[in-house]
A and B are shown apart, each in its own frame.
Chain A
Amino acid sequence: SAVISQKPSRDICQRGTSLTIQCQVDSQVTMMFWYRQQPGQSLTLIATANQGSEATYESGFVIDKFPISRPNLTFSTLTVSNMSPEDSSIYLCSVDGLGGASSYEQYFGPGTRLTVT
């Protein structure tokens, strides 16, 4: 298994500002993902964070709104830009591919609870 940490754990932000969320894994992984969970809803994949190249975004999500970095195999950031109250959600990172091979089972970070006022 992997130990995944996220910073911050929660934040309250004003509309129009941006927040960068960090995801740190205690071992190298092949795949890192970012999900959004709106209040009372299920999880929706935002993008796959690719090491050394641009992230792969899902339909409905764009790089200008959710820029993602992945400088190495253990770390990634997600920025929520120009926030509005509709961005209030839990943002979770997850990983797959411990030791290089995908097992399809994903390990999730504890999430970042974002409230936009």
Chain B
Amino acid sequence: SQQGEEDPQALSIQEGENATMNCSYKTSINNLQWYRQNSGRGLVHLILIRSNEREKHSGRLRVTLDTSKKSSSLLITASRAADTASYFCATVAGTASKLTFGTGTRLQVTL
């Protein structure tokens, strides 16, 4: 079953603006990851944040994790049309590698 709920379900912004997506989950985790999917194709790993970390950066991406609230956010700064995709959070519980995906956010970046 899906553990994570993401909001918003869909987000439309203009190029240059920032995009923020939120993910909530239900149980204790080892780490939380964000993936991008373009047009129903394979997923691309974006960033991983461990349960003992609170914030992580990678290029234009900023991820925060609040384990007390069981929530995470993904911020994409200075968005580009090429960022148009679906974004999924996924959690790993315990030491197993299995991913449990959130419901996803569809991001549309317009020129």
Contact = CB atoms under 8 A, between A and B. Distances in A.
Interface in B69-111: 88, 92, 97-104
Contacts, number: 57
Interface of B: 1-2, 30-31, 33, 35, 40-45, 48, 88, 92, 97-104
Contact of B103 (A42, A45, A113): A42
Interface residues of A, number: 26
A106 B42 contact: no
A111 B42 CA distance: 6
Contact of A44 (B33, B43, B45, B101): B101
A4 B45 CA distance: 14
Nearest to A113: B40
A67 interface: no
A100 to B, nearest CB: 13
A45 B100 contact: yes
A41 B40 CA distance: 10
Contact of B42 (A42, A105, A110): A110
Nearest to A107: B45
Given A33-B97, A42-B2, A108-B35, 17 more contacts: A31-B97, A33-B98, A41-B103, A42-B101, A43-B88, A43-B99, A43-B101, A45-B98, A45-B99, A94-B99, A102-B97, A104-B92, A105-B33, A105-B48, A106-B99, A108-B44, A109-B42
